[in-house]
Homo-oligomer: A and B are copies of this chain.
Amino acid sequence: MRCEEELLPMNEQPIGVFDSGVGGLTVLKQLALCLPYERLIYLGDTARLPYGTKSRETVLKYSMRNASFLLEKGVKCLVVACNTASSLALEEMKERFAMPVIGVIHPGAKKAAAASRTRKVGVIGTLATVRSRAYETAIECYGADIEVTSVSCPLFVALAEEGWVDDEVTYRVAERYLRPVQGKGIDVLVLGCTHYPLLKPVLSEVMGKEVALVDSAEAAANEVAVSLRAEGLAAAAEGAAAGGAPTICLTDRSLHFLELGEKILERPLGEVEYVDLG
């Protein structure tokens, strides 16, 4: 595949996207919608998931390995479709790689800052994301007056993976986790993990209609589009990729990924390539 890719001009090269698992497909789906002429390669590090409970050092190591794999596939741009990796490893990836590297934190923070009228925003994420305070820092860039309350929700990924997405148990777990962000006057809740949009029915019921749920997928896809145009890297409408299905690579066979992946993308995943990254 590499040889063929090399014959293509840079702007016809694929966009590389990675996540620890299936959650980043919410970003891939938005990219496919916003950028129909782009080729997309997605890497799910299913052999090492989840990232959200692991240390900065380990998430950084895995992220660099994922990025290097996509680089070898000849990608022109890297999308880190994982909040934990975006929180803990984005700066290092930007320093290491010359191409545009886009995470999900800043797009989500920008969208949240623009949407909040009460200037009080809640953020939910994995343990690692919340500990990193990456959303607090990013939201401050777009609205220094905004008060941010963050809570980690470790069970949400497992509940989403189990498919209990609109379930009484999940509702009770959500009630407990979200208590610290209730009664704070927030009008925006950032879903700071790409798995959480799967739990939207429960989250919006617990938070009430007056709280907008912000997920970064759409905002991140927009930022990718802007960045590609700015760098002269956007594919031509008549390019080689138009209408093609994304290429999906996984580091481990995962029935969960295949089942949930088709639900998220609302289309068959096609052939999945299994890769050994150690």
Contact B162 A58 (CB under 8 A): no
A167: nearest chain-B partner, CB-CB: B176
Copies in the complex: 2
A46: nearest chain-B partner, CB-CB: B54
A136-148 CB contact bits vs B (8 Å, 1 = yes)? Answer: 0000000000000
Does chain B have a CB within 8 A of A182? no
A45-75 CB contact bits vs B (8 Å, 1 = yes)? Answer: 0111000011101100000000000000000
Q: How far is the CA of A59 from the CA of B164 in the complex (A)?
A: 26
Knowing A162-B155, A169-B172, A169-B176, say if A254 contacts B47 (CB, 8 Å).
no
Cβ-neighbour of A173 out of B48, B157, B169 (below 8 A): B169
Q: How far is the CB of A125 from chain B (nearest CB, A)?
A: 15
Contact A55 B169 (CB under 8 A): no
Does chain B have a CB within 8 A of A253? yes
Does chain B have a CB within 8 A of A210? no
- 17 sample A-B contacts, Cβ–Cβ < 8 Å, listed by A number: A46-B54, A53-B161, A53-B256, A54-B252, A55-B253, A55-B254, A57-B252, A57-B253, A58-B251, A58-B252, A154-B158, A154-B161, A154-B162, A155-B159, A158-B158, A169-B173, A169-B176
